[in-house]
Amino acid sequence: MTSLSLYEDLLAPGEALELPSGGRIVYVASGELASLHAGHAAFGADEARLEAGSDGATVLRFELTEWSVDDAKLCAHVELDPWADYVMRCERGAVEPAGGPGIGCILRGELTVNGEIVHPFGAWQEPAEVSGSGSVVRVVLVRAEEPATEALAQGPIQL
């Protein structure tokens, strides 16, 4: 069973988070990490150390695993073709239909997702019926042969 999970990490100034190897995208919602500023994202699959800058950081961390987790903000089971190649892609901006399964998170504004109101830092599983005004960040899993779109970060995943 493949799962995509979203974590919200609130790091104090200079605090570090050690991460094991595995497909992930980190998005800095506020503050900064050592080399990543607010509004930017990075893909990685190796062991990593996230260290907050002098003002701390709020980080949205999307991780792909072969198991389900209980301590995530949201954990979504995704059905992927085991014979296909996929890319993990981070998108930010307006509300549009997702190109594949994933998780979305509202940054500002208010949205209605599948008939429920979602406030800032609320999350949902894609695909979903989304309306309203606000800015979102989401990570979706798309087939590698899909045309490249403008993304904050992306990288190939191994199933």
List pLDDT tens digits, range 52-88: 999 999 999 999 998 878 889 999 999 999 899 999 9
End-to-end, the C-alpha distance of the chain in Å comes to 10
Q: Is the model's pLDDT at 95 over the cut of 70?
A: no
pLDDT of residue 37: 95
pLDDT of residue 16: 96
Q: Is the model's pLDDT at 94 over the cut of 70?
A: no
Distance CA 151, CA 61 (A): 16
Place of tokens 């991780």: 63
Give this prediction's pTM: 0.94
Give me the domains of the chain, ranges plus CATH numbers: 2-65 (2.60.120.10), 81-157 (2.60.120)
Contact, 53 vs 13, CB < 8 A?
yes
Using CA atoms, how far residue 80 sits from 58, 61, 72, in Å, is: 30, 21, 21
DSSP helix/strand/coil, 65: strand
